[in-house]
Amino acid sequence: MPPRPAPAETRADTAGSAGATDAPPDVAALHRTLLDWYGATARDLPWRAPSATPWGVLVSEIMLQQTPVVRVEGPWRAWLERWPTPADLAAAPTAEVLRAWGRLGYPRRALRLQQCAAAIVDRHDGVVPADESALLALPGIGSYTAAAVAAFAHGRRAVVLDTNVRRVLGRLTRGEALPRPHLTRGENAAAAALLPTDAATSARWNVAVMELGALVCTARAPRCEECPVRASCAWLAAGRPADEHADRRRTQAWNGTDRQVRGRVMAALRAADGALTREELVVAAGCGDEQALRCLASLVDDGLIGPVGEQDGSYALGG
DNA sequence: AAATCGGGGGC
DNA sequence: GCCCCAGATTT
């Protein structure tokens, strides 16, 4: 199934044609190899279907921030069926938006997505902008998402650098096992230099590199023997050296954290389709009173929950 | 630059 | 049990 974006693979980068890319022959060959692989291997994800709207693409990108593809598909379909346009989401009750977000995690994304929808209605007449800087100015949209929406929803030429692309390019061109915790200017320049000149081809290149990172050039157990560009890979050529900055990575603790407690409170409120008393929420929090109350306060502060009634004794989803 | 912010699945 | 996942925002 030919995934979006890319009506037809642009062949302008084949030798001799006037055109789409002035890349040296080896880079042009790399482009063609990976683009062909993508055409043959890409997953049939719903937000890549020709019928997907720019709004659908934007929603997918927000949902996919730190959440794996397999967990997003279901919620994404339900979301777009319920709120097919930015105006629909902007008009929805925030409690319903948070409930529909379900267990995708980081529920502030749901809040910001609704704010984003409202901003699109206000500033752009309800139309998802194509300009990267206009996208960047919207709530919940950072550098990655702005580039991704410009490229995948509108076919613009943009440097899309997510964790997959950073890992693939780091291995391919610099021979590094894993990217650093923070994006560097060098990575941005390297990615920009490799980006095909033609807009439609560049958009397809971006998603192809991402797909390679998701399916083959994975963080854990890369399947180099299946990699279409293994012959050009600096990391493989160097014998797949281990990550140089492994000692700097430390995974955040989970048990007993405010994040866990906040998650339990949100889960309880999603399940209850109304308000719950403070006492019920403290029980749901599953921790000491002090931490439970602190978390309730922070959730109120974030606009994820709000007091109900005059007594301030119970809370519901939404501000 | 560092901290915070969910939740689940693979290994 | 550890690590990672189509990151963004705030301090």
Rounded to 10 degrees, the C-alpha dihedral A117/A119/A126/A95 comes to: 30
Q: Which domains does chain A have, with CATH numbers?
A: 258-317 (1.10.10.10)
Residue A164: other Cβ atoms inside 10 A = 21
Determine the Cα–Cα distance for residues A223 and A259; give it in Å rounded to an integer: 34
Quickly give A268 CA vs B7 C1' distance in Å. 15
| Known active-site residue A225 | no
Quickly give A98 CA vs B7 C1' distance in Å. 15
Quickly give A289 CA vs C5 C1' distance in Å. 32
Provide the pLDDT for residue A247: 66
From first CA to last CA, the distance across chain A in angstroms is: 43
Contacts 24+ apart (CB under 8 A), A170-173: A170/A235, A171/A217, A171/A222, A171/A233, A171/A234, A171/A235, A171/A236, A172/A229, A172/A232, A172/A233, A172/A234, A172/A235, A173/A234
Q: Tell me: cis bond preceding A5? Omega within 30 of 0 counts.
A: yes
Could you tell me which residues are beta bridge partners of residue A305?
A: A317
Provide the pLDDT for residue A50: 97
Query: Is A45 near strand C, with its CB below 7 A from some atom of it?
Result: yes
Determine the Cα–Cα distance for residues A304 and A230; give it in Å rounded to an integer: 46
What value, to the nearest 5°, has the Cα angle with vertex A145 and ends A150 and A159?
A: 60
> pLDDT 10s digit of each residue in chain A, 319 long?
344 444 333 333 333 333 345 677 799 999 999 999 999 999 999 999 999 999 999 999 999 999 999 999 999 999 999 999 999 999 999 999 999 999 999 999 999 999 999 999 999 999 999 999 999 999 999 999 999 999 999 999 999 999 999 999 999 999 999 999 889 999 999 999 999 999 999 999 999 999 999 999 999 999 999 999 999 999 999 999 999 877 666 677 899 999 999 999 999 999 998 999 999 999 999 999 999 999 999 999 999 999 997 766 999 999 8
Query: Is A164 near strand C, with its CB below 7 A from some atom of it?
Result: yes
Which residue is closest, via its CA, to the C1' of B5?
Answer: A106
Residue A189: exposure state from Cβ atoms within 10 A (0-12, 13-18, ≥19): exposed
Provide the pLDDT for residue A24: 77
The number of CA neighbours under 13 Å toward the Cβ of A283 is 5
Provide the pLDDT for residue A244: 82
Distance of CA A271 to the CA centre of its chain: 26
DSSP secondary structure string for all residues of A108-159: HHHHHHHHHHHHHHHHHTT-----HHHHHTSTT--HHHHHHHHHHHH-----
Nearest to A275 by CA among A306, A315, A309: A315
Residue pair A106/A66 in contact by the 8 Å Cβ criterion: yes
Quickly give A214 CA vs B10 C1' distance in Å. 14
Q: How many residues does chain A have?
A: 319
Provide the pLDDT for residue A21: 55
Within 7 A of a protein CB, which nucleotides of strand C? 2-9
Query: Is A249 near strand C, with its CB below 7 A from some atom of it?
Result: yes
Query: Is A250 near strand C, with its CB below 7 A from some atom of it?
Result: yes
Query: Is A218 near strand C, with its CB below 7 A from some atom of it?
Result: yes
**Can you tell me which residue has the tokens 């998650």?**
A263
Provide the pLDDT for residue A249: 66
Residue A231: other Cβ atoms inside 10 A = 11
Residue pair A114/A149 in contact by the 8 Å Cβ criterion: no
